[in-house]
Structure 1
């Protein structure tokens, strides 16, 4: 039996059914994940502009699926165990994260400081791994959080390792909001900083993202020589060692080289799909 012809063109039909609804769910999840304090339904309404019934329906569905947890006393919302479990499995199976694990551990042990592994995501970097310093004072960053390119050591390391034309394209129109008194908000100053970073092979965040926090970063290169990630060492200004080159930069560059070499040794996919 032949199917009846469609009454409307394919252009009138959404490419993927349910995309709009799914986008609303993801918007709510992202807002909860990024919030400094657990938001309630009213806060989510203000942030999204969605009607109260829509937000209630989304929150109820996410709570039922254990993607969100609601505090019965305050009605504040936090990420739920199912979402965290899924994220943990994704990070645990990441080839990059697994390939960098030993190098990150050695770097943390060599410096005694917190280390991060980050990958580019749009015009930001996302932390996909973090090993805490054994020191008493620790960093507030967390796995899964995104950070700006222009104020972070990982962001500047990744930008500087790009070919000049691609770096210029990334910087074109890049917002440069001020986070501290040390933030580079002038495009020319940032370009000069990236030129210096590219020449020496490592970057710095000199209290540009958080006051009192100093970071060193360097890129991780893929098999084709392009930057695919960046690693940073984060210390606090009051305990930063004077011998920067030996204390932080040398072990950082060694870690990045080890991860890059491991990535280069991985078999590259066959573009034709043949064995």
Structure 2
């Protein structure tokens, strides 16, 4: 059973000063590993992925099972997310003010383009999908609500970075992880910065099979009342069926959706600076 890929951020200096943070971070790290695994994992796989000793992993897993945050298959000992966690996530998703402010425009954008639409918000060195509307076509993408994706390899990530001011962008770029996912993934900071400048100049970003082979995405940013980026939207299409005039077919409706949503959230104090996502 392969070990899941870790995407949990390291605790910040402020977190490290809070009593109990270290233990809590370990619990969250194990929970994230189970959530990110592409197939069910067991304690041995979690030990390899986390680097924690077996007694620590056993203790964490037992506590998470007791709280119904994880469930264990009685026959295979494989672990999966539990019903309590799913209930909490469902309530959070359903009450997301950002999603509620954007959902009508996202549906309109999906219908206009005929393609899959994602809404994502920043989370450290990643973007997290908080809404996904599937293309009406029979082909489905592997992404799902709650998925964390890298800034450097996605249209939503590059749109977000391009909307930051130079100081904020420099802070994000410092030690930014840039793993390779496909042959097209940019793994050199200079190449990424060049594309960010191009995105700034034209107002929209692209993901040219950089995160997932065969998928081309267009991205644009949603801004709060101060002009700071608070979220981003992407339109994702299969490379082989991309329309002849993409700026008209995808980019124009995408930019219009971002404009309308930006105006809408600017009127909501809790969303103006991305505080209530």
Please confirm whether the aligned pair reaches a TM-score higher than 0.5, indicating the same fold. yes
Question: Which residue among 92, 104, 107 is the counterpart of 1:105?
Answer: 107
Partner in structure 1 of residue 7 of structure 2: none
The answer to whether the aligner puts 1:170 opposite 2:172 as a matched pair is yes
Q: Secondary structure at the match of 2:179?
A: coil
Is the Cα–Cα contact under 8 Å of residues 70 and 80 in structure 2 kept in the other structure?
Answer: yes
Question: What is the 5 A alignment of 1:186-225?
Answer: 186-225=188-227
Q: Secondary structure at the match of 2:48?
A: helix
Deviates more, 1:19-28 or 1:205-214: 19-28
Q: Secondary structure at the match of 2:237?
A: strand
Question: What is the 5 A alignment of 1:107-256?
Answer: 107-256=109-258
Q: Secondary structure at the match of 1:180?
A: coil
Deviates more, 1:79-88 or 1:16-25: 16-25
* CA distance 1:16–1:182, shift in 2 (3 Å): closer
| Offset at residue 72 of structure 1 (A) | 2.1
| Offset at residue 38 of structure 1 (A) | 1.2
Give me the whole-angstrom Cα distance separating, in 2, the residues matched to 1:215 and 1:16: 40
Give me the whole-angstrom Cα distance separating, in 2, the residues matched to 1:266 and 1:93: 15
Deviations 1:76-97 (A, max 9, x none): 1111111011011112112111
Partner in structure 1 of residue 275 of structure 2: none
Q: Could you tell me the TM-score, scaled by structure 1's length? A: 0.88
Q: Could you tell me the TM-score, scaled by structure 2's length? A: 0.88
Is the Cα–Cα contact under 8 Å of residues 120 and 232 in structure 2 kept in the other structure?
Answer: yes
Q: How many residues align?
A: 256
* CA distance 1:161–1:15, shift in 2 (3 Å): closer
Give me the whole-angstrom Cα distance separating, in 1, the residues matched to 2:100 and 2:115: 20
Q: Secondary structure at the match of 2:261?
A: helix
Give me the whole-angstrom Cα distance separating, in 2, the residues matched to 1:70 and 1:171: 39
Give me the whole-angstrom Cα distance separating, in 2, the residues matched to 1:166 and 1:19: 27
| Offset at residue 15 of structure 1 (A) | 5.7
Question: Which residue among 48, 52, 55 is the counterpart of 1:53?
Answer: 55
Deviations 1:199-219 (A, max 9, x none): 111000001111100000000
Structure exhibiting the larger radius of gyration computed from Cα positions: 1
Partner in structure 2 of residue 85 of structure 1: 87
Give me the CA root mean square deviation. 1.6
- Unaligned 5+ segments in structure 1 are 1-13, 270-275
Deviates more, 1:236-245 or 1:61-70: 61-70
